Structure 1
Amino acid sequence: MIIKLWLLILFLFLSFCGKAQKAAPDSLTETKSSTTHISEVVIQSAPRKVKLSDGNLVMSIAGNKDFKTSTHLLDVLRKTPGVTVDQEDGIFIGGRITPAIFIDGKPVVMSNQEIQAYLRSLSPEMVESIEVNTNPSSKYDAEFKGIIDIKLKKNTSLGWKANYNGNVYVNKFNYRENAVSLSYHTGKVTYNLQAGYNEGISTYRYKALQQLANTNVLRTNTYQKDFGKVYNIQAGADFRLNDKNRAGINLRGNFRNIDRIRNGSLYATDKNEKQLVFHTINENSTDYSQDNYGLTADYSFQNKGFKLTFLGNYLSVKNKQDDDFINRDQATANLLSYWKSDLLNKINIYTAQIDASQKINTIYLEAGIKYSNSDTHNNIRYDTLSAGNQFVFDPTRSNIFSYKERIWSGYLSYRQKIGNLQINAGLRFENTSSISNAVTLDSVVSRNYLKWLPSLSTSYAFNKSSELSLSYSRKITRPSFWQLNPFRFYFSPLNYSMGNPYLLPSLTSQIKATYRYKNWVTSFTVGKEKEVMTRYPLYNPETNVLEYLGTNLPYRNFAVLETSFPIRITKWWNLTSQIAGYYNYEFRPYLDEVFALNIYNYEVRLNQVFSLPKGFTVNLFANYESKTGNSLYIFKPRYTVDVSVQKLWLDNKLNTKIGFNNLFDSYEQQLEFRHKQIMDNRTVHWWDSSRLVFSLSYNIGSSKYQVNETQKTEEENRTR
């Protein structure tokens, strides 16, 4: 079936190529000349790259020299003020917030891996702007503590459009990404088809040292290699029924398979590290698969100052995983233990929401209501090899867990502009009803709670060069299914993390002030989070098992100060500097003590762009993170340096880039337990982010129509 699908896509792709080649050369030449002239005028007449919208940073992307050499939008985000992209391409804002990704004002319907692939498929010239919202109002789901809204460039040409994007990442192994998108716009209807195939090998290393006072010293070394294949396909249609009514539908599927081999060793000595206690080697092979199916339907009606929208979503996720855990004595190769696991996880989510807005003179009134239904079931069975050489059921590791959640939410918001002053106010309610059933533990936790979440913001523009904003919001963060599920996720045979079905949701209140002067933007955020969800280590000196368990902390106070400013050194050399300072105070009970420390850290990023002769551009990006941590752990400093070169060919239709990410392989994460009187625990996480990157993008067809992106719900974010 998959081969037939790819043959059909290839046939359509070649057909579009043939049609594109029949276009009149004179017409193409005239279009190119006109576009070049307009681009030059825009750059000269509107040099400002940054503005504020309701206190949120809005960064121009297309035509911005700072991003001309960026390979894709994920690379753009890495260089955007206030945004951090880590070695696993995870996106964060405000220090530790994972934002929702919006496209043209709506959250996208994709897994984290799909979002990353989609962002890699977008070139900087396809994006009008990026808005970074670190304090969303009550209009948005309370789970959204931060939002990155990507505005795509809008065009309305008719006909076909095709695009191919390919990336190759090379180090010891390599990984390949391929994506094809097709769209056809008739003026009334736009049909779209997207398909992708990614495969390759990625690696990961984990090292740990653990010792309680006056006990053995245990060293763990783990090497992991993943071979993954990912297939995805989306098909949809956007209907412009008339000037007032629009409707859309989108169906999607995403299928991934990962074969993992994890090899490691456990090396234990006495407290003086002179006498060997044991030395074992272990092997963990994993066969993992995930099948996702989704359906999205939307409708909108707009007449004069009134607008009504409806959005419905269905998501089905099925995870299967089989593991083998084999432990042997290193000296004799004798088998010490052998257990197997069989995991089946199913997730079903339904959501529906209606939003309405009305403009009355200079006042905008908005209201909305939403219902979501989530049903998750997890069954993991462990079997252990017995003395009789038979596998028998292991009840100490096996786990059956289900979680049902129903949420009714709604909001009212008011917005008005009075001269240069804009005021926004809103109030949101969210009523949550949930039942978690840990069958293995014979524990049922039922909760029903209502939260009121206000927001308020004001902004004032002194002139075109300067503006100031101030905002307040209150947010709720519910624990995800994986945080609640008391199953074991193994790092090694003696090291694992486990969820806690008794976790409570956290509440965050914060105030943010932002000031812009030309392209110089400075923001300051201060807030408090209650019932903070986190993990803590627990070491058993008799079994040498180290667990990471979930819990709620009473509270934490935090503050973030960020500033960014561009410097034009010469006509061909641009430099953008970003500096961020963070403060964190956790009140953390641990064992029989309470630890509360003031933690300060900072981050500095420099992005340099060199415009060279013959259309070549070179980018040098450097990032440094100082020592940081929390009340229990110290995170060691780290840095990274990226370099890349870009060149356009064939009337700007072919875009080629080559670069080297993490040039010095210096971005590993090192953690150390602060309180040596309790425990000596040090860990090192390393990912193969030091890679040579080849990127190629080619556009075919005349259509410039941008298809509406499908939407991702708050609940889908929490399923990972």
Structure 2
Amino acid sequence: MIQKKGFEAKTLDKAEDPLLIELKPEAASISEVVIRSSARNIRLNDGNMVMSVSGNKDFKTSANLFEVLRKTPGVTVDQEGGIFIGGRIAPAVFIDGKPITMSSQELQAYLRSLSPEMVESIEVNTNPSSKYDAEFKGIIDIRLKRNGNLGWKGNYNGNAYFNKFTYRENALNLSYNTEKIAYSLQTSYNNGISTYRYNALQKLANTNVMRTSTYQEDEGKVYNIQAGADFRINDKNRLGVGLRGSFRNIDRTRSGSLYTVNKDESQLVFNTESDNPTDYSQQNYGIVADYSFQNKGFKLNFLGNYLSVKNMQTDDFINRDKPTSQLLSYWKSDLVNKIDIQTAQIDISQKINNADFEAGIKYSHSNTNNNIRYDTLSVNNSFVFDPGRSNRFSYREKIGAGYISYRQKLGKLLINSGLRIENTESVSNAITNDSIVSRNYLKWLPSAGATYTFNKSNELSLSYSRKMTRPVFSQLNPFRFYFSPLNYWIGNPYLQPSLTSQIKLTYRYKNWVTNFTVGKEKDVMVRYPLYNPVTNVLEYLGTNLPYRKFASIETSFPVRITKWWNMTNQISGYYNDEFRPYLNEVFALKVYNYELRTNQVFSLPKGYTVNLFAQYESKTGNSLYIIKPRYTVDLSVQKSWFNNTLNTKISYNNIFDSYDQRLEFRHKQIMDNRFTHWWDSSRLIVSVGYSFGSSKYQVRETQKTEEENRTR
């Protein structure tokens, strides 16, 4: 007998051919061969940084994708869950190359439901080309790990946050794949209490000193569900359908005080207290459908989105004299806000040799209606309609867009260019004030770029783009949103869109990436304070500034200290020069600031991973305000169990409770005001993730876009 590894050979009977040898599979044969290349955590895609997430040690201790984004170079997540890149650009969020139409609250809940193990990579695009919507000044593209196996898989991820109160997050993700259809289901339920504090010190025009103090508790419940199916019709056609719903209820209790004394603080002038209980609910429904056809070098994509959001909120504003408990004023509000958004876009591309030609059209329609009613307690102890505060406002917007783009590889040089045209029709209707503002405008938005690859370790990219930012509904709506009885902001229906032109230069050496950006924005949309010295009311109003010039430089680089100690450091510098007319004066200050980050990972024996993350932000601000320095330090530890099916993490974020935001008005001759925002971001976090399923066999991927292939 002749035997080789994996097979058993035997000679046949003499009646058969004596030279014929049969190979018979052995029971202990090799069932699977897995080839893995060495990981490269950072690379460039058309000058944009792409960061690997799953399997990246820098993110092993992160509780969810929100925690991952906080540690991603070039990305900032504030205490309220706002995501920013390139300084203070609020990016659009894409999933697998497609924009997702979600409300900000729904998006936050969705990102918190994703564990790092579920995400393949994150691409940070701070200078999108003309292919993308004009309003997308930045994009974060999240590529999910594809379950390419037949059968079903599941993942549970649970997080508990401990501060003064507890907040809990629970997410369940299920997928089931057949040869033709891939099904997915995602559900999450979050509940608990979060807190917020606001404190202000203001020297009034009559030389009195007023201290404002506000404390807020939000007890919330959030339900989310998403279901989808991806149909592989054949090798050329694919169809996807998704449905989702999000439901949020928040019971808010807000209490505050206005404590006012004379100039030398020797005599009490008045001391009032306020209570503002709020009942808030939100209902979101969304539908998405996408279809793709691919044949050789030609590809067609269709994407349709529908989003319906309904917000409902009731408030009570109760103000009393604190020493005597005498009721000073009492009013109620009842808000109903409805938003409907429909979008449809078609993109086609054709590859000819080393060149790619692409074109597309998009249409979007949004309709927002807002009705807020105020009732005030009258002298006869009954509530009467308050027309001075009540408001009905609607906003309709239609956008038609088209683009063409060209991309070609010339040896080591990759060039691209594009042109986008967007026409906007909008109608702002302040029904209560009988005021209608209609607009119809067309904008041409070019882009261009080039990337030169010296070798596998060195890349240089240069890009240019022109972008347009339209005012959102909250900036246009002329109704009062109260922070305290003497402090509120009001929208401006006459705001103009802003235009931004910028140039970005990017260089990568291995995992060391440096970006330099410079640009100018016209008709900048900002809020400004207006103080009334008679009533002591402080309003925040919206306006357009003539222009601002800006620049930034960001560099991130990994350092390997030992086999068990790795760190990634980031240094960012920002420059802002805004021309701001304000109260018959012009303020034009040049503001410089910087940020430092370090993310240190320690791989310890027995599979433990320890992560230390620290961030420092220097003094910054704008022409009117100074923002004081702040810093934060996070410490976390991670351990996997049972062949990596169970993943446990413990984190302590903002250990020193040092990440509050402190602002001071620069020009004391106008207003002497300083205030602090504090959120309960100093938290102990306990996370548990569990993966399960029965997938065994690999599904054949019938089609991949070039972008998908680049992110593998």
Match of 1:256 among 220, 245, 248: 248
1:130 partnered with 2:122: yes
Task: Provide, for residues 146-200 of structure 1, a one-character-per-residue CA deviation record: whole Å limited to 9, x for no partner.
Answer: 1111222334210112221111001110001111122211110112222111110
Counterpart of 1:317 in structure 2 is: 309
More helix by share: 1
**Alpha-carbon distance, 1:604 to partner:** 0.2
Counterpart of 1:494 in structure 2 is: 486
Counterpart of 1:61 in structure 2 is: 53
Counterpart of 2:99 in structure 1 is: 107
Provide closer, same or farther for how the CA distance between residues 586 and 146 of structure 1 changes in structure 2, counting only shifts above 3 A. Answer: same
**Alpha-carbon distance, 1:373 to partner:** 0.9
State TM-score, norm by structure 2. Answer: 0.92
Task: Provide, for residues 294-342 of structure 1, a one-character-per-residue CA deviation record: whole Å limited to 9, x for no partner.
Answer: 1111111111111111111111111111000000001000100000001
Amino acid in structure 1 at the alignment position of 2:582 = Y
Amino acid in structure 1 at the alignment position of 2:476 = L
Counterpart of 1:302 in structure 2 is: 294
Match of 2:688 among 696, 699, 707: 696
Counterpart of 1:42 in structure 2 is: 37
> Counterparts of 1:271 and 1:590 in 2: how far apart (Å)?
27
Task: Provide, for residues 93-112 of structure 1, a one-character-per-residue CA deviation record: whole Å limited to 9, x for no partner.
Answer: 00101111112211234333
1:540 partnered with 2:535: no
Provide closer, same or farther for how the CA distance between residues 212 and 528 of structure 1 changes in structure 2, counting only shifts above 3 A. Answer: farther
> Counterparts of 1:397 and 1:624 in 2: how far apart (Å)?
42
Comparing 444-453 with 127-136, greater Cα deviation is found at 127-136
Match of 2:450 among 458, 480, 486: 458
> Counterparts of 1:326 and 1:57 in 2: how far apart (Å)?
51
> Counterparts of 1:227 and 1:274 in 2: how far apart (Å)?
39
1:620 partnered with 2:615: no
Aligned pairs (5 A) from 1:562-573: 562-573=554-565
Comparing 127-136 with 137-146, greater Cα deviation is found at 127-136
Task: Provide, for residues 113-134 of structure 1, a one-character-per-residue CA deviation record: whole Å limited to 9, x for no partner.
Answer: 3333333333333332221100
| 2:276 match: secondary structure | strand
> Counterparts of 1:339 and 1:249 in 2: how far apart (Å)?
46
Amino acid in structure 2 at the alignment position of 1:326 = I
Match of 1:245 among 232, 237, 240: 237
**Alpha-carbon distance, 1:212 to partner:** 4.5
| 1:462 match: secondary structure | strand
Aligned pairs (5 A) from 1:46-445: 46=39, 48-445=40-437
**Alpha-carbon distance, 1:30 to partner:** 8.9
**Alpha-carbon distance, 1:349 to partner:** 1.3
Comparing 601-610 with 59-68, greater Cα deviation is found at 59-68
Provide closer, same or farther for how the CA distance between residues 121 and 290 of structure 1 changes in structure 2, counting only shifts above 3 A. Answer: closer
> Counterparts of 2:452 and 2:147 in 1: how far apart (Å)?
32
- RMSD over aligned Cα, in angstroms? 1.9
Provide closer, same or farther for how the CA distance between residues 212 and 265 of structure 1 changes in structure 2, counting only shifts above 3 A. Answer: closer
Match of 2:592 among 595, 600, 603: 600
Task: Provide, for residues 449-498 of structure 1, a one-character-per-residue CA deviation record: whole Å limited to 9, x for no partner.
Answer: 00000000001011111111100000000000011001111111111111
Counterpart of 2:652 in structure 1 is: 660
Aligned pairs (5 A) from 1:636-655: 636-655=628-647
Comparing 289-298 with 207-216, greater Cα deviation is found at 207-216
| Identical columns (%) | 76
CA contact (8 A) 1:212 1:678 kept: no
| 1:692 match: secondary structure | strand
Task: Provide, for residues 516-550 of structure 1, a one-character-per-residue CA deviation record: whole Å limited to 9, x for no partner.
Answer: 11111111000000110110011111111111111
Comparing 184-193 with 678-687, greater Cα deviation is found at 184-193
> Counterparts of 2:115 and 2:338 in 1: how far apart (Å)?
35
**Alpha-carbon distance, 1:90 to partner:** 1.9
- Which consecutive residues of structure 2, in runs of 5 or more, have no partner in the other structure? 1-26, 702-712
> Counterparts of 1:485 and 1:114 in 2: how far apart (Å)?
22
> Counterparts of 1:420 and 1:53 in 2: how far apart (Å)?
14
Amino acid in structure 2 at the alignment position of 1:42 = S
> Counterparts of 1:409 and 1:227 in 2: how far apart (Å)?
42
> Counterparts of 2:202 and 2:530 in 1: how far apart (Å)?
11
CA contact (8 A) 1:213 1:678 kept: no
Highest RCO, 1 vs 2 (Cα 8 Å, sep ≥ 6): 1
| 2:455 match: secondary structure | coil
Task: Provide, for residues 595-624 of structure 1, a one-character-per-residue CA deviation record: whole Å limited to 9, x for no partner.
Answer: 000000000001110000000010000000
Amino acid in structure 1 at the alignment position of 2:669 = Q
Comparing 118-127 with 357-366, greater Cα deviation is found at 118-127
> Counterparts of 1:670 and 1:90 in 2: how far apart (Å)?
18
Amino acid in structure 1 at the alignment position of 2:97 = G
> Counterparts of 1:687 and 1:134 in 2: how far apart (Å)?
28
Comparing 285-294 with 124-133, greater Cα deviation is found at 124-133
| 1:676 match: secondary structure | coil
Counterpart of 1:715 in structure 2 is: none
> Counterparts of 1:356 and 1:661 in 2: how far apart (Å)?
46
CA contact (8 A) 2:308 2:341 kept: yes
Provide closer, same or farther for how the CA distance between residues 181 and 30 of structure 1 changes in structure 2, counting only shifts above 3 A. Answer: farther
> Counterparts of 1:60 and 1:177 in 2: how far apart (Å)?
25
> Counterparts of 2:520 and 2:380 in 1: how far apart (Å)?
57
Equivalences, count: 673
**Alpha-carbon distance, 1:276 to partner:** 2.1
**Alpha-carbon distance, 1:213 to partner:** 4.4
Counterpart of 2:509 in structure 1 is: 517
Amino acid in structure 2 at the alignment position of 1:628 = T
Larger radius of gyration: 2
State TM-score, norm by structure 1. Answer: 0.91
CA contact (8 A) 2:630 2:660 kept: yes
Provide closer, same or farther for how the CA distance between residues 356 and 322 of structure 1 changes in structure 2, counting only shifts above 3 A. Answer: same
> Counterparts of 1:409 and 1:215 in 2: how far apart (Å)?
55
Task: Provide, for residues 352-387 of structure 1, a one-character-per-residue CA deviation record: whole Å limited to 9, x for no partner.
Answer: 111111111111011111111111110100000010
Counterpart of 1:713 in structure 2 is: none
1:553 partnered with 2:545: yes
> Counterparts of 2:266 and 2:30 in 1: how far apart (Å)?
80
Counterpart of 1:8 in structure 2 is: none
Amino acid in structure 1 at the alignment position of 2:333 = S
Counterpart of 2:8 in structure 1 is: none
Amino acid in structure 2 at the alignment position of 1:649 = W
Match of 1:674 among 660, 663, 666: 666
| 2:546 match: secondary structure | strand
> Counterparts of 2:213 and 2:649 in 1: how far apart (Å)?
36
| 1:116 match: secondary structure | helix
Task: Provide, for residues 217-236 of structure 1, a one-character-per-residue CA deviation record: whole Å limited to 9, x for no partner.
Answer: 22110000000011111222
Comparing 576-585 with 293-302, greater Cα deviation is found at 293-302
Counterpart of 1:531 in structure 2 is: 523
Comparing 106-115 with 597-606, greater Cα deviation is found at 106-115
| 2:109 match: secondary structure | helix
Counterpart of 1:503 in structure 2 is: 495
CA contact (8 A) 2:204 2:536 kept: no
Aligned pairs (5 A) from 1:630-641: 630-641=622-633
